[in-house]
Structure 1
Amino acid sequence: MGKYYLAVDIGASSGRHILAELKDGKMELEEVYRFQNGMQEKNGALCWDHEYLFREIKNGMKKCKELHKIPESVSVDTWGVDFVLLDADDRVLGDTVGYRDSRTQGMTEKVETCISQEELYKRTGIHWQLYNTIYQLEAVKNTHPEYLEQAESILMTPDYFHFLLSGQKYMEYTIASTSQLLSAATGDWDWDLLELLGFPKKIFRSVSMPGTVAGCLRKEVQDEVGFNCKVVLPASHDTGSAVLAVPAKGEDVVYISSGTWSLMGVERKEPDCSLESMEADFTNEGGYDHRYRYLRNIMGLWMIQSVKKELTEDLTFGEICEMAAQESIESIVDCNDESFMAPKSMIKAVQQFCRKTGQQVPETTGEMAAVIYNSLARCYADTLEHLETNTGRHYDTVYVVGGGSRAGYLNELTAKYTGRRVSAGPTEATAIGNLAVQMLSDGMFADVDAVRDCIRRSFEIEEY
């Protein structure tokens, strides 16, 4: 029997359980379970169903038992910024509202009465985004102050699932950094900032680094899934895990973690909290081994995913790419425009943007996809230009990891607009990074460079 590790990788639209083992110096993956995810309207807000998600986490673990492949450890990674508040009896206070909900409208102005955006960036290194935890907590403070009064703890989404699995409460560094409440200097909570904003400091635990062993499965979970194993904190923010799986070494590496969001940036040992960095829309999120993910958030494949849901035709993403490649439409939209955040119709939102800016309006599926893919690639090129200016470095290759690495047409466009070589893969980057932290924690690798060497040998990489 091999030595297995289990990654539970939960994205905005789906989750999956990936088992891994090392064989002949290579990492071998096996998807054992997959489930759907998405926000649902509840009490007038867009919410996550955490009870359902935890049931699915356990269901996937049961599959491991059925396969007679018991993992040494399990780790959960998710999207960033969202959280739960727990009372003294560890009951969730209120609904588990998600980042696409509109409750944060007007909250930036309220936060700015306490601290300017410039000072906030200087302290945290995190770029302003309306959905950041800081603004969500401000919304709670203004609409449900009783929740903060009753709260005994706050846990980010993956931290909450680790708590349900192990019974132990931890706040992991990479996911905590997405809150815009961590000090860029210390890597821990900015306690003075919390006090300034009127957020109860008692509910925040000091952050823990990826690789921390949270404990073993709770007895109830052991009985349900049929085995016991360690619970290890990965780089709990899915992008933190994905960046760890970039198959390249050194600081002269620019990556795109391509999925629902496109996160484009570099790894750095020090944050850049300058005004110039803020004005260029860059953020300094936490990475493995206290590194910084210096990157820009780009709307990503969310746009094409949303279009696909509206189509009456049953098309695959590959077929949509092929249709887009046949079009010559030159219209470009700003992928980060607020109108694309959560429109009732993405198709109408793109058409309206083109109409408003005096460009050709896409009418067919192929034209719509071509506009979106070309707009994404143009945005990547603009981001690369800013990265090189801000870091003073030149990047020969753009490394694309994650589900978007399979989008050959988008990769070709990225190479065209950036004028650089594009290295695409591995596809399962988030799960691989999650698993890598577990293996590092278990002593299977000496360091990050050894992990990345293994990843290069283990998975197919395409170049454009």
Structure 2
Amino acid sequence: MAVKSNDSAAGEAVFAAVDLGATSGRVITGRVGPGKLELAEAHRFANTPVRLPDGLRWDVLALYQGMLDGLREVGRTGPVASIGVDTWAVDYGLLDGDGALLGLPFHYRDARNSGAAERLPDGCGVRELYAVSGLQHLPFNTVFQLLAHRTTAQWEAARTLLLMPDLLVHWLTGSVGAEITNASTTGLFDARSGDWSDALIGRLGLERALFPPLREPGAPAGTLLPHVAEYTGLPGGTPVTTVASHDTASAVAAVPATEADFAYISCGTWSLAGLELDGPVLSEESRAANFTNERGVDGTIRYLRNIMGMWLLEECRRVWERAGAPLGLGGLLADAAGSRPFAAVIDPDDASFLAPGDMPARIDAYLLRTGQTPPRTPGGYVRCVLESLALAHRRTLRRAAELAGRDPVRIHLVGGGSRNELLCQWTADASGLPVTAGPAEATALGNILLQARAHGLVDDLSGMRRLVAGTQDLRHYEPRGNRRDWDRAEDRIGLRHDQAAAGTGGATA
């Protein structure tokens, strides 16, 4: 049911999006009206994990405080029609019987997630999991994290499991629920029925009572608790609206596609490349190729694979900065553009690149292992990473199209990576498909537009996308150059198009 907006006479309303990524969080406001979609950043804060004696954890209390401070900035400018929260996928918090959080949530890059499949009980292997959930095999999937967690004292006290965005919504409103696009990333969700899989949960020895009722994007999630309203200065009773709380699901909802057959890449720390389908692809061939079937808006399926994205470049830059050589991204990209093409290529999904650490040294080791010469300059490393990502985009989208029986005519590249002109152009060159880049803030836009739709200001998913296409700055890249050069580079990586990315391949974020 539509909720009256805070500016209904003008046919406009302002919404607040809390958008938390793997390295930073933002609170963004969006004004939505006929032919209008305007964003303004209210507050930005760091998301810095904490390494404790028992592992790598998210500092969720600092994230919550950053969110409250952002909403306080929003409150200084006036009321909003509602608030929506999205984050990365798979990670969770456990609550005890009194609703108290049992320790800081584990980080999906924590070492406890290695050897994930070995924890599965007999008769419930990766094939059985995929036949129900359709989820890409990743060592940090929620299902594997839970199998590691249930040997702890915390598990004995746990009564409720909340994924990260659901935990933050709970602290804002007091309500308990599980948003469906994020629930679909756990490995415990039935891709066909669109509900928790009681059968899988039981076979894995987990308690069904841990998993809250599901919520669809657009459903009311509650209103701000009195102490939250007092701190933020927002009116008591300000609604919190369920959005596509998996950040990729919100980003895909804001893809400015006007054609029916499109491919998308949501490019940030991870590159999530795939297609939007009406139903899941649960074949053994799909499982072997390590594709995932995650829920999208309005019952759609995000048929995709996770690719280790700009994380590779971010980690390289961290190493160079710690060594006393702070290098701006603009200069690095200029150096990359002038470096020799295809001097070195890597498989971004090699398991050695997953954990934090000395990324240039890991790239060197990979190249030496595959008979290649490591780069000698930062620009050479950047070119290696970006060309390798463009090849991974091509490889993934071609295989997705084969498995789903689709023939995409355009790639929409959204997220922070859409600002990287080299990556966008090389993705077009490698794939042979035109690339439309932008919007960079696709996740926040999707969050806000889903709130606006719930408030009656946008008609449907197509209307949301038309509004994005008509109001946001987009750039277009046509394929150029000799695609055989890309073919030869692909051969050097030694991957077949149907090869799964062993051990890696969400979150996301």
Asked if 1:389 is matched to 2:402, the reply is yes
Unaligned runs of 5+ in 1: none
- Give the match for residue 69 of structure 1: 78
- Give the match for residue 155 of structure 2: 148
Q: Are 2:116 and 2:140, in contact at CA under 8 Å, matched by a contact in 1?
A: no
Asked if 1:449 is matched to 2:462, the reply is yes
- Give the match for residue 307 of structure 1: 316
- Give the match for residue 340 of structure 1: 353
Asked if 1:414 is matched to 2:427, the reply is yes
Letter in 1 for 2:296: G
Using the TM superposition, give the Cα deviation of residue 434 of structure 1 relative to its aligned residue in structure 2, in angstroms: 0.5
Q: Cα RMSD over matched residues?
A: 1.3
Q: Are 1:171 and 1:205, in contact at CA under 8 Å, matched by a contact in 2?
A: yes
TM-score, structure 2 length as denominator?
0.89
Question: Which has the larger displacement, 385-394 or 293-302?
Answer: 385-394
Deviation string 1:338-371 (CA, Å, 9 cap, x unpaired) is: 1000142111111110011111111210011011
SS at match of 1:314: coil
- Give the match for residue 318 of structure 1: 330
- Give the match for residue 68 of structure 2: 58
Using the TM superposition, give the Cα deviation of residue 140 of structure 1 relative to its aligned residue in structure 2, in angstroms: 0.5
Using the TM superposition, give the Cα deviation of residue 403 of structure 1 relative to its aligned residue in structure 2, in angstroms: 0.5
1:127 to 132, 136, 155: 136
Asked if 1:16 is matched to 2:26, the reply is yes
Q: What is the distance in 2 between the residues matched to 1:338 and 1:325?
A: 27
Deviation string 1:189-230 (CA, Å, 9 cap, x unpaired) is: 101111111111111112111111111100110111111311
2:124 to 110, 115, 122: 115
Q: What is the distance in 2 between the residues matched to 1:107 and 1:266?
A: 27
Q: What is the distance in 2 between the residues matched to 1:305 and 1:295?
A: 23
Letter in 2 for 1:323: D
Unaligned runs of 5+ in 2: 1-6, 478-509
Q: Are 2:173 and 2:222, in contact at CA under 8 Å, matched by a contact in 1?
A: yes
2:174 to 154, 164, 167: 167
Q: What is the distance in 2 between the residues matched to 1:49 and 1:272?
A: 36
Deviation string 1:275-316 (CA, Å, 9 cap, x unpaired) is: 111111210011111111000110000100111111133223
Structure 1 runs, 4 residues or longer, greater than 2 Å off: 146-149, 312-319
- Give the match for residue 138 of structure 1: 147
Task: Within 5 Å, give how 1:260-271 maps onto structure 2.
Answer: 260-271=269-280
Question: Which has the larger displacement, 38-47 or 261-270?
Answer: 38-47
Letter in 1 for 2:380: E
Q: What is the distance in 1 between the residues matched to 2:63 and 2:296?
A: 25
- Give the match for residue 53 of structure 2: 43
Identity among equivalent positions (%) equals 37
Q: Are 2:150 and 2:156, in contact at CA under 8 Å, matched by a contact in 1?
A: no
Q: Are 1:343 and 1:349, in contact at CA under 8 Å, matched by a contact in 2?
A: no
Q: What is the distance in 2 between the residues matched to 1:101 and 1:249?
A: 40
Q: Are 2:115 and 2:139, in contact at CA under 8 Å, matched by a contact in 1?
A: no
Q: Are 2:346 and 2:367, in contact at CA under 8 Å, matched by a contact in 1?
A: yes
Task: Within 5 Å, give how 1:225-374 maps onto structure 2.
Answer: 225-228=232-235, 229-249=238-258, 251-311=260-320, 312-328=324-340, 329-374=342-387
Q: Are 1:18 and 1:31, in contact at CA under 8 Å, matched by a contact in 2?
A: yes
Greater RCO (CA < 8 Å, at least 6 residues apart): 2
SS at match of 1:134: helix
Using the TM superposition, give the Cα deviation of residue 96 of structure 1 relative to its aligned residue in structure 2, in angstroms: 1.4
Using the TM superposition, give the Cα deviation of residue 266 of structure 1 relative to its aligned residue in structure 2, in angstroms: 0.8
Q: What is the distance in 1 between the residues matched to 2:70 and 2:217?
A: 23
Deviation string 1:47-76 (CA, Å, 9 cap, x unpaired) is: 10111111111100110122x232111111
Q: What is the distance in 1 between the residues matched to 2:42 and 2:427?
A: 33
Q: What is the distance in 1 between the residues matched to 2:317 and 2:115?
A: 31
- Give the match for residue 448 of structure 2: 435
- Give the match for residue 200 of structure 1: 207
Q: Are 2:13 and 2:33, in contact at CA under 8 Å, matched by a contact in 1?
A: no
SS at match of 1:178: coil
Q: What is the distance in 2 between the residues matched to 1:432 and 1:288?
A: 14
TM-score, structure 1 length as denominator?
0.97
Q: What is the distance in 1 between the residues matched to 2:127 and 2:30?
A: 43
Letter in 2 for 1:123: V
Q: What is the distance in 2 between the residues matched to 1:233 and 1:23?
A: 20
Q: What is the distance in 2 between the residues matched to 1:51 and 1:62?
A: 16
Q: Are 1:4 and 1:20, in contact at CA under 8 Å, matched by a contact in 2?
A: yes
SS at match of 1:71: coil
